[in-house]
Amino acid sequence: MWTEKFRPKDFSEIKGQKEIVKRIKAFVDMKNIPHLLFTGPAGVGKTSLALTTARKLFQESWHQNFLELNASDERGIDIIRNKVKDFARTKSIGDVPFKVIYLDECDALTREAQQALRRTMENYTQTCRFILSANYSSKIIDPIQSRCAMFRFKPLEKSDIFLIIEKIEKEEKIKVEDKAKEALHKISEGDARKIANILQSSAAVSSNITEELIYTMASVAKPKEINEVLRLALSSKFIDARNKLLDVMLNYGLSGVDVIKQIQQEILALGISNESKMKLMEKCGEIEFRITEGSDEFIQLEALLSQFVLQGTANLNV
The boundaries of the domain holding residue 106 are 2-152
Question: Cα(123)–Cα(309) distance, rounded to whole angstroms?
Answer: 63
146 shares its domain with 163: no
15 shares its domain with 143: yes
CA geometry: angle 197, 13, 155, nearest 5 deg: 60
Burial category of 286 from C-beta neighbours within 10 Å (exposed 0-12, middle 13-18, buried 19 and up): middle
pLDDT at 79 over 80: no
What predicted TM-score, i.e. pTM, was given to this entire model? 0.80
Last residue of a domain, one of 152, 174, 191: 152
pLDDT at 243 over 90: yes
- Please provide the distance, in angstroms rounded to a whole number, between the alpha carbons at the two ends of the chain: 55
198 shares its domain with 297: no
What is the pLDDT, as a whole number, of residue 318? 42
95 shares its domain with 207: no
The strand pair at 208-209 and 66-70 is best described as: unpaired
What is the pLDDT, as a whole number, of residue 241? 93
pLDDT at 81 over 80: no
Lowest average pLDDT, out of 114-123, 182-191, 216-225, 308-317, goes to: 308-317
21 shares its domain with 97: yes
107 shares its domain with 168: no
Last residue of a domain, one of 109, 134, 152: 152
105 shares its domain with 206: no
135 shares its domain with 27: yes
139 shares its domain with 262: no
92 shares its domain with 233: no
Last residue of a domain, one of 152, 170, 199: 152
Instruction: Report H helices in the chain.
Output: 2-5, 18-29, 46-58, 62-65, 78-79, 85-88, 111-123, 142-147, 158-172, 178-188, 192-205, 211-217, 223-234, 238-252, 256-267, 274-292, 297-317
Lowest average pLDDT, out of 79-88, 107-116, 170-179, goes to: 79-88
pLDDT-based confidence at residue 306 (cuts at 50, 70, 90): very high
What is the pLDDT, as a whole number, of residue 244? 93
Which residues, listed in sequence order, are joined to residue 130 by a DSSP beta bridge? 101
- Region 241-246: mean pLDDT is 92
Q: What are phi and psi of 39, to 5 degrees?
A: -125, 150
CATH of the domain at 126: 3.40.50.300
Per the structure, the count of domains in the chain is: 3
210 shares its domain with 227: no
- Region 15-37: mean pLDDT is 90
